[in-house]
Amino acid sequence: MRVLGIETTCDETAAAIVSVERSGEAKILSNEILSQIAAHAAYGGVVPEIAARAHVEAIDRIVARAFESAGMKPSEIDGVAAAAGPGLVGGVMVGLTTAKAIALVTGKPFIAINHLEGHALTARLTDDLAFPYLLLLVSGGHTQLLAVRGVGDYLRLGTTIDDAVGEAFDKIAKMLGLPYPGGPSVEREALKGDPERFEFPRPMSGRPNPDFSLSGLKTAVRLVAERIAPLSERDVADLCASFQAAVVDVLVDRTRAGLRACREAGIKPSSLVVAGGVAANQQIRNGLVRLATEAGLPMVAPPVALCGDNGAMIAWAGLERLRLGLVDDMGAVARPRWPLDELRAQA
């Protein structure tokens, strides 16, 4: 079974083809991505109008390349998936319309994918991962703990009451004059810094409910940066390292509360999984490995290249749905807001 997946919810125009062989082995046959980072860098964040236009300009080429590098013709796929949200609606419509057109022309089923479900299921593409699992979803727009019980079956255990983790990384980077996107910049600076120089708060730590709060931490970093300005290179590195150390502690503590919440809900997770753009962060991955070891569970994370937005995650979620017979019709619309726990396994 082979599925084409298209991703255009934010600032990546991406298309990929994934397959599951008769042996059950999952494969990425192609994974094309065009990042718009350069187009948005001057603004320090994604500009929706610029993003939508850039998706229109790139989508045909990226889809054509996904077929070329897989060595396949459109008639050889079994389904076409596109992210239908949540995200910037102008961009989402570009991918959605393209996928519907390909489905119509080839006569193959169309599958509308929740972008977060793409992140949530990616680890099953690269690892032999059984349901249920505890998922820490950390991205540019979301920070949640979910019990993933099956395709389309997500129990939200906790969420952020203010900023997402990726958003906090991006805002700290902007504040310190580091390049967009902020996550990789802050991680790079942190490598050179002292994580113990500044003692930043660990919001929500110790609370039983596995919720998150990041805005107080962000403000604490801003106040220190303002107090010690002008900032030397050393100061910037130390601020990044101390901020990142606080984030790691917060995520580990909150995920520990998530494991407890699973137990209380009678769910026995097979693994601890981290996904989303922020899951690329090595210190965060290390912290979660320590927690998983403490809990006697395997820690599973997609390869770094599949943590940020990509086409393979959408193609894979499409394949998971298609093989369960969960397909959509041409009436599927772009959804700017679309919580994962509103999904249903039945289309």
Q: Out of 84, 147, 236, 278, name the contact with ligand ATP by CB under 6 A.
A: 278
Residue 276 · residue 10 · CB < 8 Å: no
- Residue 71 carries which side chain, given as an amino acid letter? G
Nearer to Mg ion, 54 or 70 (CB): 54
Q: Minimal distance in Å, beta carbon 315 to Mg ion?
A: 17
| Contact call for residue 309 and ligand ATP (CB under 6 A) | yes
Q: CA-to-CA distance for 142 and 165, rounded, in angstroms? A: 7
CA gap 207, 253 in Å, rounded: 9
142 lines the binding site for ligand ATP (CB under 6 A) = yes
Subset of residues 212 to 251 that bind ligand ATP, contact rule: CB under 6 A? none
Does residue 132 contact residue 123 with C-beta atoms inside 8 Å? no
Residues from 69 through 98 that contact ligand ATP (CB under 6 A): 86-87
**Cα dihedral 160/320/91/96 (nearest 10):** -140
Is there a contact between 52 and 94 (Cβ–Cβ < 8 Å)? yes
CA–CA gap between residue 272 and residue 293 (Å, rounded)? 10
The item of Fe ion, Mg ion, ligand ATP, none sharing an interface with residue 258, based on CB under 5 to 8 Å by kind, is none
Query: Which part of the chain contacts ligand ATP (CB under 6 A), choosing from 37-45, 139-147, 257-265, 311-319?
Result: 139-147
Is 211 annotated among the ligand-binding residues? no
The residues that touch Mg ion, with contacts defined as CB under 5 A, are 10-11, 309
User: Which residue is associated with the tokens 């080839």?
Assistant: 106
The yes or no reply on residue 10 touching ligand ATP (CB under 6 A) is yes
CA distances from 253 to 90, 204, 260, 279, 287 (A): 37, 9, 11, 16, 10
Q: Distance (Å, rounded) from C-alpha 263 to C-alpha 265? A: 5
**Cβ 320 to Fe ion shortest distance, Å:** 17
| Residue 309 near Fe ion by CB under 5 A | yes
Query: Which of these ranges, 256-264, 275-283, 288-296, 339-347, lies near ligand ATP under the rule CB under 6 A?
Result: 275-283
Partner whose binding site includes residue 210, from Mg ion, Fe ion, ligand ATP, none (CB under 5 to 8 Å by kind): none
State which of positions 156-195 bind ligand ATP (CB under 6 A): 166-167, 169-170, 181-184, 187
Q: Which residues 6+ apart lie within 8 Å of 38 measured at CB?
A: none
* Known binding residues: 115, 119, 137-141, 170, 183, 187, 281, 309
Please give the residue ranges that form the binding site for Fe ion (CB under 5 A).
139, 309
